[in-house]
Structure 1
Amino acid sequence: MKSSTSLQKRLSLGLTLGITLLWLGATLATWWVVRHELDEVFDSALEETARRILPLAAQTAGHEHIDLPSLPEEGPGVRTENLAYLVRDGNGHVVMQSHDADREDFNPQPVEGFTNTTHHRRYSAVMPDGRFTIEVAQPLSHRDEAAREALLALLLPLLALVPISWLGTLLIVRVSLRSVLAYRRAIEARGAGDLSPVRAAKLPAEFDPLAEAVNHLLQRMRKALEAERSFTANSAHELRTPLAATLAQVQRLRHEAPQALQTRIGKIEGSLHDLARLSEKLMQLAKAEGGGLLSQAPKDLIPLLAHSVEEWNGSHGQRIMLTLPARHSLYSAIDPDAFGILLRNLIENGLKYGAQDQAIQVSLDDEAVLRVTNSGAVVPDVVLQHLTERFVRGNTDVSGSGLGLAIVNTIVQGVKGSLMLVSPAPGKVDGFEAMVRLPLVECSSP
């Protein structure tokens, strides 16, 4: 079964991803605007530089040609400028230049205004009388570097924004879904027999219909199960009196009837006994399914087990060997009546289907694990897997209702224990063992 993703994780990741994408979109849009503004600022700087240097160059050069030396060699004392310029006279001779100007970067016949090359952005201006022309060039790499720094400054906060947004979103979602998680825990904590309405406190509006539907479904299930259990219990109870009366009449008839009818009357009596036992099992099953399996106060299992086994040995010829734990007390929340029904069905199963010439073993250890072991034929795995189902019996000629282990399994599930059936019994080559693990409760002895 594919595991599902929690709503908290979906919302946290989705909202964080959404915030990140919005931030990236806003960053790119802002960077595009900043890049446009940077180009305008740099262009304005080119134009301003040209218009300020051109009059100064005209005053310095006068009408005489000034033959400037070639570019100085690069060295640690030479500073590279972001702007380079050339001033030419009317004949195209260079009369002034910046110290790092490379004449190959300039147009031999400059055109007034802005022009672009592969590596430079240039601006040319001409004096009104046409005597001097200036051309200012700026490397495009400088503009790209400024744009990259601006983009980096916008993206760096995103590195901190993503984890902070995820943690903040997760916290907000967790707080918002606190009532939903409490509702889930309330459902998970319920036992198999608890069909009472689930209290939903301050659930989000989207979950209110779901909570109402769950409670409505629980109510319908509770009514259906109550009707079934009531019918089972009432039927079994109502059958007790007429069965007892009929059985008494049959027994009396058997004593008065001639010998030829004794066998037939004996079969009728046996059928009535089986019907009485079935009625008793149905009443036990109704109690196991009807709740009330947990006691309000923890009960000590050791005296309950010892007393029950002693009664069985008194009526069945000491066929039960009991092993008690080393502890003096062992408390569990199981109801004493439910424990008695569970133990009775396990012992009946062991006595009925075990070897008749051997005793059955009943033991309880310090971990509240109850074991009932008998000798006899090995139960196949295919049959073993279905023995806890109603009206399912092993391959045997022994009469029975097929409800004993089903009742045991229902009680064990109701008290949140566990049942394991093993055949052959551990440490043996044959036999059968039923192992029941009951929930322990810490309780100080009075």
Structure 2
Amino acid sequence: MTDAPSIRKGLSRVVIQVSLAWSVAVFGVVWFTVHHKLDEVLDGTLQESAEILYGLLKPNAERLPIGSGGSLPAPPHHERMVWQLVSGDQRVVWRSHSAPAQPLATAHRERWSADSPDWHVYGIPFDDQGTMLYVAQPHGERSQAQFEAALLTAGGALAVGLACAVWLRRRAGRELGPLMDLSQQVAHYHPLEPGSSPPLATREELRPVRDAIVHLGDRLAQNITSERAFSANAAHALRTPLAGLGAQLAMLQRESPANVQPRIQRAREASDRLSRVVTALLSLFRSGGEIRPRHITLAAFVQDLPLPGLAIGVTGDAEVEADPDLLAAALLNLLDNSVRYGATQAQVSFRHDAAAVVIRLVDNGPGVDEAARKRIGAALATQHYEQDMGLGLMLADRVARAHGGQLVLVPVEQGFGVELSLGWRQR
């Protein structure tokens, strides 16, 4: 059986996916906005720088060494923007410290010039002789600024998305807490027990689930109660006629000819077997799953079980707290199975296993093959009694489980072997 999908893990995956998608979407929108706004800011900075330089240089043009082709005196430093004064014949007549010695634009053009592979250039006329004032910024500087803005935007969006994912995951876990509480309450809810409280729904969405579970439990309890009452009444109704039938068969056997008596004996054995089944059903449904334990010495208890036609050998001994009626019904049905399938001897032994006492029964009958043993063992383990399961094995397993144990088929060299564990052993 494969594991069922987890709601918590599913919600976590959805939250993470939504957060990542949201982060990517926010990054795309913010980056698109920042990219265009950054271009506008940088272009505005170049334009304003050009206007400021024009305002500084133009009034002082006669006193400045314009036309020398040199640069503005300044200590070595990194310039994020450079400027040039370029004459009409494309000579750089003056420039900033880091500006190139060649014109930033190959042709005089006001405002923006797109013919420079390395520079983003803005130009304005400087005088009437065709001199241009160019202010430029390296494309690399602009790309770096855009990359840093994109990196910060992506990092911020991702951090916010992850923080939201963690918060939503924890929130989802807390919101799933009532569902886990409800499942634990359902696990401890026993509709047949008078003191068992129905589960509580602490969330509005869980109320239909809680109501459905309670209604299902009520219907199951009603069905089980009705089945127990019917089975107990049917078994009780059969008990008296079977007792009378056994007495009449005994009298008939004594009065019949010798050649007819073996047939009557087989009828008596069948009647006795049916009586034991009825007794077992009465004991099982009388208990209703409630155990009335008493101290039992198992060796003497087994030797006192009345079962004609089967020699029972007992090895060892053990003491246990168990319901004697239920335990007798279980063992009688197991031993009766041995007789039905042709066994003449059965060996019973006992051992302590952890907190349980294990009763091992091995007969000398034909047994079953390995495939059938595994199939019946799997049916017992899962309590699917309708699958290739006799009444004797089912009753014995029900009694063992009522005592905190179970019935297990064990491999043996010859015959049929079972182990019935009782979890309430005497310490």
The correspondence for 1:309, drawn from 291, 297, 302, is 302
Is 1:409 equivalent to 2:410 in the alignment? Answer: no
Tell me whether 1:361 sits opposite 2:362 in the alignment: no
Structure 2 vs 1, CA of residues 128 and 275 (structure 1 numbering), >3 Å: closer, same or farther? farther
Alignment-derived partner of residue 43 in structure 1: 43
SS in structure 2 opposite 1:211? helix
What is the correspondence of 1:358-437 to structure 2 with a 5 Å cutoff? 360-367=347-354, 368=356, 369-384=358-373, 385-386=375-376, 402-415=390-403, 417-423=405-411, 425=412, 429-437=413-421
Q: 3-state SS of the aligned residue for 1:365?
A: strand
Distance 1:227 1:33, change over 3 A: same
Q: Secondary structure at the match of 1:321?
A: strand
Q: In 2 relative to 1, CA 376–105 (structure 1 residues): closer, same or farther, beyond 3 Å? A: farther
Alpha-carbon spacing, 1:413–1:133, altered in 2? closer, same or farther (3 Å): same
Structure 1 residues 165 and 337: CA distance shift in structure 2, 3 A: farther
Distance 1:300 1:435 in 2: 21
Cα distance in 1 for residues equivalent to 2:335 and 2:246: 26
The residue type paired with residue 298 of structure 2 is L
1:217 lines up with 2:211 in the alignment: no
Mapped partners of 1:190, 1:417: distance in 2? 21
Cross-structure match for 1:398: none
**Deviation larger for 178-187 or 45-54:** 178-187
Counterpart in the other structure of 2:242: 243
- 8 A contact 1:195–1:221 mirrored in 2: no
Aligned to 1:21: 21
Partner of 1:320: 313
Q: TM-score, normalization: structure 2?
A: 0.80
Q: Specify the SS of the correspondent of 1:239.
A: helix
The superposition leaves residues 151-198 of structure 1 with CA deviations (integer Å, 9 ceiling, x where unpaired) of: 222332455545544443333222212221122234445789889987
Residues 54 and 132, structure 1, Cα contact 8 Å, conserved in 2? no
Q: Deviations over 1:63-104 (max 9, x none)?
A: 9862224899xxxx7333111111134554432101221255
1:87 paired residue number: 85
Aligned residues of 2:405 and 2:422 also touching (Cα < 8 A) = yes
Question: For residue 403 of structure 1, what is the amino acid of its counterpart?
Answer: L
Match of residue 97, structure 1, among 95, 99, 113: 95
Measure, in 2, the Cα distance between the counterparts of 1:105 and 1:440: 102
Name 2:327's counterpart in structure 1: 339
CA 280–434 in structure 1, closer or farther in 2 if over 3 Å, else same: same
TM-score normalized by structure 1? Answer: 0.77
Deviation at 1:133, TM superposition (A): 2.0
2:281 aligned with 1:277: no
Quote the offset at 1:266 in angstroms.
Answer: 6.2
What is the alpha-carbon distance in structure 1 between the residues aligned to residue 52 and residue 365 of structure 2?
116
Letter in 2 for 1:170: R
Aligned to 1:53: 53
1: CA distance between counterparts of 2:195 and 2:175?
26
Cα distance in 1 for residues equivalent to 2:134 and 2:387: 106
Provide the rounded CA distance (Å) in 1 between the counterparts of 2:40 and 2:346.
104
| AA in 1 matched with 2:69 | L
Question: 2-side partners of 1:171 and 1:416: how far apart?
Answer: 39
Unaligned runs of 5+ in 2: none
Mapped to 1, the partners of 2:409 and 2:303 lie a distance apart of: 25
The answer (yes or no) to whether the contact 1:236–1:280 under 8 Å persists in 2 is no
1:286 offset after TM fit, Å? 6.0
Residues 47 and 157 (structure 1 numbering): CA distance in 2 closer, same or farther, change over 3 Å?
A: closer
Find the aligned partners of 1:193 and 1:286 in 2 and give their Cα distance. 19
Report how far residue 348 of structure 1 moved. Answer: 4.2
Distance 2:167 2:53 in 1: 56
Cα distance between partner residues in 1 of 2:153 and 2:320: 68
Q: What is the rounded CA distance, in whole Å, between the counterparts of 2:157 and 2:403 in structure 1?
A: 54
CA separation of 1:390/1:10 partners in 2, compared to 1, >3 Å: closer, same or farther? closer
Any idea what SS the aligned residue of 2:17 has? helix
CA 258–173 in structure 1, closer or farther in 2 if over 3 Å, else same: closer
Percent sequence identity over aligned pairs:
25
Cα shift at 1:308: 1.2
CA distance in 1, matches of 2:192, 2:402: 6
Higher relative contact order (CA closer than 8 Å, sequence separation 6+): 1
Describe the shift of the 1:341–1:293 C-alpha distance in structure 2 as closer, same or farther (beyond 3 A). farther
SS at 1:49 equivalent: helix
